A = this chain, B = another copy of it.
């Protein structure tokens, strides 16, 4: 008789458990023992799925990055005036953050102690630069105010979007709730709170 349950995990369901443990304990603070206990299967069963915890980190981070980079390939991000494309990317980035909350949260917390973490930070910087370029183009088109520096505006825009991860909890509202939040981000960032 064993205390561990039968291993019925798919790569995806095991990843969901791992990302939860990483976000709770921090990646550095998570051991294979912690993952084994959280999943309810032995360490050797986990090794049957992945080479180790760094591979789980890479898979989790990849899921977040794939979701974010896919936004840049959407028609709304590729066609039309830069300011419209920027609004689309802002809205969809916020939506992906909420739809893939644990994965994007992990990505945002990565600090760069391992090769995988440094790769994640590099890819995240690349995403930020793609958005910053869009913002610069929109400013050059005369569609954005000139009294806010592009670099600073990009930081504040991402700061606002990423802060959603601090408080957003999926409550069954689903896509409609995510859309409501993303709409507010776009209205505030592009239109401002003031009526006049």
Contact = CB atoms under 8 A, between A and B. Distances in A.
A104 interface: no
Interface of A: 83, 142-145, 147-149, 152-153, 155-160, 162-164, 166-167, 180-181, 183-185, 187-196
A155 to B, nearest CB: 6
A145 B189 contact: no
Contacts of A145: 187, 191, 193-195
Contacts of A157: 188, 193
**Tally of this chain's copies:** 2
B185 A156 contact: yes
B163 A181 contact: no
Given A147-B187, A159-B159, 15 more contacts: A143-B194, A143-B195, A143-B196, A144-B194, A145-B195, A159-B160, A159-B162, A159-B166, A189-B192, A189-B193, A190-B192, A190-B193, A190-B194, A191-B194, A192-B192
